[in-house]
Amino acid sequence: MQFVHNRYQIGGVDALRIVEQYGAPVYVYDADRMKRQYARIKDAFSGVPRLRINYACKALTNLNVLRLFRQLGSGLDTVSMQELDLGLMAGFDPHDILFTPNCVSLEEVNEAVSKGVRINIDNISILEQFGDQHRGVPVCIRLNPHIMAGGNSKISVGHIDSKFGISIHQVPHVLKVISALDLKVEGLHMHTGSDILDAQVFLQGVEILLRAAADFPDLDYLDFGSGFKVPYKEGGIATDIEDLGERLSTRFNEFCAEYGRELELMFEPGKFLVSEAGTFLVRTNVVKTTPATVFAGVDSGLNHLIRPMFYDAYHHITNVSNPRGKPRIYTVVGYICETDTFGINRQLNEVREGDILAMDNAGAYCYMMASNYNSRYRPAEVMVIDGEAHLIRRRETMEDLLGTQVELPQLKGAVEA
């Protein structure tokens, strides 16, 4: 995403041309960027003999994105039956899919077992019931190392008050369950949260998991989750993946030597793989000057991109249509009937009504959190591959909004006198 000769390009394609062709608002994903991020992780951990990246598809589940990662050799991390089914539809081998649900019923776990995917269990009650019903089916256990990582309380999941995982203090209990039910634990897992600011904290979690791993004799893999941070603004903090790769690989290889088996090292990145590949293009409907503020009101809102309102997330905004315009300060807002702000006091090249604005880091947790609030349609999605833009999801229509509604005949008649 950059200006080339004053034209804003996404994967080599002119952003304004994409809007002409597919309309606004529109999410645009640069496939090359996703490939580069995947290659970065692979390279960073190339010192580990057995490495597996499971793309955490909750970040973005368009089938084309799933297939892109499958072609790169990735596995898939899934948290719902629907993600799991999308993964199978995208052609993933069931064995390359890890199912990591939280607070789901045993029925959902059973359904996942019947589809042949790997199962990751994060509470003792389900572990016991699973063991009873699925003798001989190997399982992964999600442990909670109780460390505080993650950039925001809503995305920190490894701490003491978190609902995720089995507490590391309950490992003795877990070992009793395993022994009583003769369970084969093939993997241990942790995910401390997204947006880890300090690699040292991540490595502390790793140490805790390794200490626990020594008590599980049948392991085939250790999954350290994700949380790799990407920058959202110039100079923003990012996980130094190359440094982490070096340190963690050395430690992991040491552990495998002590353990006596070459284990597989797994990660399940979402944001790292797709966040920066995404750009959200919106059109400016109105420029509204009040005594205190100049608002740029756009044809989108928290119904399409909720992260700024939900997490106070920063998404960098650029005026794509007027690169030579005089820089001015704007608060960019949406059209939803609630406070609906994309960015406060942003310096943008002069914004005129009709101008297209680009929001960065729109690949992860953006379209996926979109809704029909205010009964508006969800936008289209476009993927740029090898310098060409392709529609990968059409914009919704009234048929989509009505598709699940059931109209009662007794309410369709004329107004009663």
| Shortest separation between residue 225's beta carbon and ligand PLP, angstroms | 5
Catalytic residue among 57, 140, 337, 366: 337
Binding of ligand PLP at residue 69 (CB under 6 A)? no
Instruction: Return the CA Rg of the chain.
Output: 23
Residue 156 binding ligand PLP, by CB under 6 A: no
When asked if residue 381 is in the footprint of ligand PLP (CB under 6 A), the reply is: no
Q: In this structure, are residues 189 and 142 in contact, taking their beta carbons and an 8 Å threshold? A: yes
Task: Report if residue 223 touches ligand PLP, rule: CB under 6 A.
Answer: no
Burial of 404 (0-12, 13-18, 19+ CB in 10 A): exposed
Q: Is 186 annotated among the ligand-binding residues? A: no
Q: Which helix (H) or strand (E) holds 416?
A: none
| Interface of this chain with ligand PLP, residues 98 to 117, rule: CB under 6 A | 100
78 binds ligand PLP, rule: CB under 6 A: no
Applying CB under 6 A, among 165, 269, 334, 363 the residue interacting with ligand PLP is: 269
Residues 6+ apart with CB under 8 A from 126: 106, 109
The response to whether 307 counts as a known ligand-binding position is yes
Does residue number 187 form part of the binding site for ligand PLP (CB under 6 A)?
A: no
Q: How far is the CB of 332 from ligand PLP (least distance, A)?
A: 25
Q: Which is nearer to ligand PLP, 194 or 319 (CB)?
A: 194
Question: Counting beta carbons within 10 angstroms of the beta carbon of residue 386, is it exposed (0 to 12), middle (13 to 18) or buried (19 or more)?
Answer: exposed
CB atoms within 10 A of CB 415: 4
Residues 6+ apart with CB under 8 A from 338: 302
By CB under 6 A, is residue 361 in contact with ligand PLP?
no
Which residue of 123, 144, 194, 319 would you call a contact of ligand PLP, by CB under 6 A? 194
- For residue 266, give the amino acid letter: M
Interface with ligand PLP includes 56 (CB under 6 A)? yes
83 binds ligand PLP (CB under 6 A): no
First-to-last C-alpha distance (Å) of the chain: 61
Identify which of 14, 29, 24 has the alpha carbon closest to the alpha carbon of residue 273: 29
The region of 108-116, 236-244, 249-257, 270-278 touching ligand PLP under the rule CB under 6 A is 270-278
Q: Can residue 379 be called a binding residue for ligand PLP (CB under 6 A)? A: no
d(CA 302, CA 366): 10
The tokens describing 186, both together, are 């093939």
Q: Does 131 bind ligand PLP (CB under 6 A)?
A: no
* Cα–Cα distance for residue pair 225/152, rounded to 1 Å: 17
- Asked if 191 touches ligand PLP (CB under 6 A), the answer is yes
Tell me the site size for ligand PLP, rule CB under 6 A: 16
H helix or E strand, kind and range, residue 72 = helix 63-72
Among 45, 272, 280, 367, binds ligand PLP (CB under 6 A): 272
Q: Judge whether 338 is annotated as a binding position.
A: yes
Could you tell me if 224 and 272 are in contact, meaning their C-beta atoms sit under 8 angstroms apart?
no
User: Is 157 or 333 the residue whose CB approaches ligand PLP more closely?
Assistant: 157
Identify which range of 19-27, 38-46, 110-118, 225-233 contacts ligand PLP by CB under 6 A: 225-233
Chain residue at closest Cβ approach to ligand PLP: 270
Is residue 57 part of the annotated active site? The answer reads: no
Considering only residues 285-304, where is the footprint of ligand PLP by CB under 6 A?
A: none
Under the criterion CB under 6 A, does residue 77 sit at the interface with ligand PLP?
Answer: yes
User: Which residue type occupies 300?
Assistant: S
| Residue 25 touching ligand PLP (CB under 6 A) | no
Binders of ligand PLP in range 249-268 (CB under 6 A)? 268
- Tell the smallest beta-carbon distance from residue 54 to ligand PLP (Å): 8
Using CB under 6 A as the binding rule, whether residue 226 contacts ligand PLP is answered as yes
Q: Could you give the CA distance from residue 342 to residue 318 in angstroms, rounded to a whole number?
A: 12
CB of 228 vs ligand PLP, minimal distance in Å = 6
Could you tell me which of 312, 324, 244, 368 has the C-alpha nearest to residue 7? 324
Residues labelled catalytic: 337
Site for ligand PLP, rule CB under 6 A: 56, 59, 77, 100, 191, 194, 225-228, 268-272, 364
Annotated binding-site ranges:
227, 307, 311, 338, 365
Annotated binding-site ranges for pyridoxal 5'-phosphate:
227, 365
Annotated binding-site ranges for substrate:
307, 311, 338, 365
